[in-house]
Amino acid sequence: MDQKNLRDWEARCTQEEPPKCKARCPLHVDGREFCRSLAAGQIDKAWAVLCKTMPFPAITARICDGDCQNDCLRSQKGGGIELAAMERFVADNAKRSPMIRALPPKGKNIAIFGAHLAAMTAAWDLGKKGFTVIVFCEDKLQGFESLPADKVSNEIIEKELAQLGKMNVSFAEHGKPEPQTIMAARESFDAVFVDPLVYNTSQLGISEVDPGTLQTNIEFLFASPDASGKSTLELLAIGRKGALSIERKLQNASLTAGRDREDPFETRLFTNISKVEAVPPVNVPAEGYSSEQAREEASRCMLCECMECVNNCAYLEEFKSYPKAYARQIYNNASIVMGTRMANTMINSCMLCGLCEKVCPENFAMQDLCLEARQDLVKKGHMPPSAHEFAFRDMDFADSSSCALVKHQPEKSTSARVFFPGCQLSASDPGAIERTYAHLCSKLDGGTGLMLRCCGAPADWAGQQEMFDRKMESLKRDWESLGRPQIIAACPSCMESLHKGLPEADVISLWSILSSEARQLDQHPEAELLSLQDPCSARENHELMNDVRLLLSRMDVTFEEPELSGTHTECCGFGGLLANANEPLSRKVAERRAEKLDHDGITYCAMCRDMLSKAGKRCQHILDILFPDGKEDPAGRIAPGYSARRENRVRLKETLLRETWNEQPEPRNDYETVAVEFTPEATKMMEERRILLSDVQKTLHSVQDSKQVLENTESGHLLVQFRPVTVTYWVEYEMKDNTYLVHRVWSHRMRVLG
């Protein structure tokens, strides 16, 4: 990712956009932060927010017009926030004011003509920046004379004028300045600003003025067009605009760069108020708000922000930020030459599900950003091998001779179609594949082959493009060996991978075929209401989702959809290899989704079923209804562990070869004859640490040859280690009647020398 790409990504996220109140305010006062502080009872902190932006805040806070109130989003839910009334309350009740210090003198002298609000603001801003300012006017109080005395007392005015004196601002009260005096001042001052209520550009005979900078065609003279009818804050903003232009001019900086949002503007910030209750404003008494009333009114502020994606995604919520900030973290992570890449876990924890893009008003696709980042890490050799290695081992095992199977239908030499159930359904419920395949063979003409293998999704999700391409080339050869038949996919993720890696293939969902004949199936639909879980990989496949709903309806299965469903469905916690990179977050995601299903779940994704089951949600696969195995409670079926999933794949192939093709499977590996039992502690450790039964059997089998064993003299337990490839496994065991009873297991990547 380069700087341009970073800026493009950042521009899509509006979380850092200002709220409507700040965007509408001529001075861009942060009304959101002001209300946040006041609602918490932090009056001095709220006052500091005003002092940060307002010129002579003790006056401005009391005369604010409340220009932002009609633009406030709360106006659609009870009425706009009474910000002006709260500002007056804070100005009256703040105990401490922030210290206002002018910068050291810059050696530049500025002449300001007039003492109305625009001129006084220019003097305030320039004085703070270290410029020496002389205000030429009839009376330094002329700008404040029209202010309501009940809001702004003479004492307050004098106090703010005294503050001006501390900032190298002085007054020359010699009557109304003449136009020729103003023109002559350019000779003795570095820059000149003219208050529009004294002379506007027309009255000065100035023919050209840039309304965005107030720069006139006369060098170093800044003035405004007619300002009659301007609100109080708009007059203040004119003075601020002129002061900034003078500062830039004297610094030889661009007068226009970065000023497109200096005037009131339309913010891009989106705030979802659909679930916000309408609350009317707190009436403003004649004497102003009390402390309780001010806090109550401040509490009506919705603290506008977007966070749509974060509010709907446990992953984005987990890392305590939002996409724009994540994009910066990913950029910085990729820019590191030497050192720890702290964002790797965040990058690898994205489920790549695409929900963020759907809920974001700007369609920010965090899944694309993270996948690109993973691909970049892989390309540069910075992807830690531990992040996804277990998934790769599982993928390779599914494609190994122990599990993979590519065959025509028995007694057929050609295949019009091939059933591709996917490696996770094979691991979760092999019996469902046997029953489904038997049904397809009996109902479809032209021959229906079978392909048991992985679709390569783990490689794709991990950013391993070359590995994915190799998997798809292998899959393509298997597909071509069957005569390039139509592929019937049972898994939505498989469909997605096949469309991506094998675009020339005709891929159709199993549910499309079954929905057309649902009424002829001998199914036993559930009488109770079920909650439908759409897998995230089906999000963009509208035909697939429609086929599933049609199938369920034709089967007379009653179901409802959770709030986030269909194109807005939530991931179960398996997508993007989250369970491999960040197991605790994966559990949290699954539990969060399970809580949102009000009834027993029904889904058409094997991993959705198993992940929800692990999270404590009763859930069944549609195949449990279509082709039941005779067991009473399919929704209560326990999700198999990692070792059991592998064994299920192996047994599926062996069973199909024996019972469907009348062939003998290949003999098992020698290490699989090792008889092993596990204590509950060992079983738990194996699941948590992803140590397989086969890993333990290989380790114990190795000791039969090496005889290298350590013995704990206190417990009598034996300890052996074995490193088959890149991981060293340790097994603590004892012998019980010619069986290894395993007490503890663990692994690491270090080599044990000697």
**Is pLDDT at 511 greater than 90 in this prediction?**
yes
Round to whole Å and give the CA distance between 475 and 488: 14
Same-domain check for residues 584 and 695:
no
Q: CA 206, 225, 63: angle at the middle one, nearest 5?
A: 145
Helix (H, G, I), strand (E, B) or coil at 567: helix
Would residue 12 count as lying in a domain? no
Round to whole Å and give the CA distance between 731 and 708: 12
Last residue within a domain, chosen from 657, 692, 723: 657
Residue scoring higher pLDDT (705 or 251) = 251
Taking only the tens place, the pLDDT of each residue in 667-696 is 988 899 899 999 999 999 999 999 999 999
CB neighbour list of residue 112: distance below 8 Å, 6 or more residues apart: 119, 122, 123, 126, 133, 134, 135, 136, 192, 193, 194, 195
Taking only the tens place, the pLDDT of each residue in 428-450 is 999 999 999 999 999 999 999 99
Query: How is the chain split among helix, strand and coil, in percent rounded to 5?
Result: 45, 10, 45
If you average pLDDT over residues 290-307, what whole number do you get?
97
Taking only the tens place, the pLDDT of each residue in 53-92 is 999 999 999 999 888 999 999 999 999 999 999 999 999 9
- Cβ atoms of 714 and 686 closer than 8 Å: no
Residue scoring higher pLDDT (196 or 754) = 196
Residue scoring higher pLDDT (159 or 146) = 159
Round to whole Å and give the CA distance between 122 and 142: 15
- Cβ atoms of 665 and 657 closer than 8 Å: yes
Q: What is the pLDDT of residue 519?
A: 58
Would residue 398 count as lying in a domain? no
pLDDT above 90 covers what percent of the chain? 87
Residue scoring higher pLDDT (386 or 161) = 161
Would residue 10 count as lying in a domain? no
Q: What is the pLDDT of residue 525?
A: 62
**Is pLDDT at 341 greater than 80 in this prediction?**
no
Nearest to 665 by CA among 677, 652, 676: 652
Q: Where are the beta strands (DSSP E) in 444-540?
A: 448-452, 486-489, 507-509, 530-533
Q: CA 130, 132, 135: angle at the middle one, nearest 5?
A: 130
Would residue 573 count as lying in a domain? yes
- Cβ atoms of 566 and 498 closer than 8 Å: no
Q: How many CB atoms lie within 10 A of CB 483?
A: 14
Same-domain check for residues 279 and 292:
yes
Would residue 479 count as lying in a domain? yes
Nearest to 677 by CA among 689, 669, 686, 668: 686
Same-domain check for residues 370 and 421:
no
Enter the tokens of residue 165: 């004196």
Confidence class for position 566, pLDDT limits 50, 70, 90: very high
Nearest to 224 by CA among 212, 533, 615: 212
Strand order in the sheet with 486-489: 405-407, 448-452, 417-420, 486-489, 507-509
- Which CATH number belongs to the domain containing residue 197 in this structure? 3.50.50.60
The count of domains in the chain is 6
Same-domain check for residues 84 and 126:
no
Round to whole Å and give the CA distance between 694 and 709: 19
Taking only the tens place, the pLDDT of each residue in 154-195 is 999 999 999 999 999 999 998 888 999 999 999 999 999 999
Same-domain check for residues 244 and 288:
no
Residue 474: which H helix or E strand, with range? helix 465-481
Round to whole Å and give the CA distance between 513 and 416: 14
Same-domain check for residues 119 and 244:
yes
Q: In the chain, what's the furthest Cα-to-Cα distance?
A: 113
**Is pLDDT at 524 greater than 70 in this prediction?**
no
Enter the tokens of residue 287: 């004497």
How many Cα atoms are found within 13 Å in the side-chain-facing hemisphere of 244?
18
CB neighbour list of residue 724: distance below 8 Å, 6 or more residues apart: 695, 698
Same-domain check for residues 36 and 52:
yes
The conformation of residue 209, written as its DSSP 8-state character, comes to B
Q: Where are the beta strands (DSSP E) in 197-248?
A: 221-222
Q: What is the pLDDT of residue 526?
A: 61
- Cβ atoms of 222 and 215 closer than 8 Å: yes
CB neighbour list of residue 551: distance below 8 Å, 6 or more residues apart: 511, 514, 515, 518, 622
Confidence class for position 296, pLDDT limits 50, 70, 90: very high
Q: What is the pLDDT of residue 518?
A: 64
- Cβ atoms of 125 and 133 closer than 8 Å: no
Question: Which residue pairs, CB below 8 angstroms and at least 24 apart, start in 366-371?
Answer: 366/309, 366/313, 366/316, 366/323, 366/326, 367/576, 369/9, 369/323, 369/326, 369/327, 369/330, 370/330, 370/576, 371/461, 371/463
Same-domain check for residues 614 and 725:
no
If you average pLDDT over residues 697-718, what whole number do you get?
88
How many Cα atoms are found within 13 Å in the side-chain-facing hemisphere of 190?
18
Same-domain check for residues 44 and 168:
no
Same-domain check for residues 429 and 476:
yes
- Annotate 718-746 with DSSP letters as a single string: EEEEE-SSS-EEEEEEEEETTEEEEEEEE
Would residue 255 count as lying in a domain? no
- Which CATH number belongs to the domain containing residue 690 in this structure? 3.30.2310
Burial 714-732 (b: 16+ CB within 10 A, else e): eeebbebbbbeeebbbbbb
Round to whole Å and give the CA distance between 630 and 522: 13
**Is pLDDT at 542 greater than 90 in this prediction?**
yes
- Cβ atoms of 427 and 640 closer than 8 Å: yes
Same-domain check for residues 645 and 505:
yes
- Which CATH number belongs to the domain containing residue 465 in this structure? 3.40.50
CA distances from residue 675 to 31, 648, 667, 712, 747 in whole angstroms, order as listed: 71, 18, 17, 22, 21
Enter the tokens of residue 703: 């000791």
Q: What is the pLDDT of residue 338?
A: 64
Same-domain check for residues 511 and 533:
no
Taking only the tens place, the pLDDT of each residue in 3-28 is 999 999 999 999 999 999 999 999 99
Would residue 650 count as lying in a domain? yes
- Cβ atoms of 20 and 71 closer than 8 Å: yes
Last residue within a domain, chosen from 597, 628, 657: 657
Helix (H, G, I), strand (E, B) or coil at 222: strand
Q: What is the pLDDT of residue 724?
A: 86
Helix (H, G, I), strand (E, B) or coil at 216: strand
Mean pLDDT of the chain: 94
Q: Are strands 417-420 and 559-560 parallel, antiparallel or unpaired?
A: unpaired
Cα separation of the two ends of the chain = 45
**Is pLDDT at 285 greater than 70 in this prediction?**
yes
Q: Are strands 739-748 and 728-736 parallel, antiparallel or unpaired?
A: antiparallel
Domain residues for the domain of 362 are 308-387
Q: Where are the beta strands (DSSP E) in 159-236?
A: 169-173, 191-194, 221-222
If you average pLDDT over residues 547-575, what whole number do you get?
95
**Is pLDDT at 580 greater than 90 in this prediction?**
yes
pLDDT above 70 covers what percent of the chain? 98
Residue 707, Cβ density class (10 Å: 0-12 exposed, 13-18 middle, ≥19 buried): exposed
Beta bridge partners of 746: 730
Taking only the tens place, the pLDDT of each residue in 197-243 is 999 999 999 989 999 999 999 999 999 999 988 999 999 999 999 99
Would residue 625 count as lying in a domain? yes
- pTM for this one? 0.88
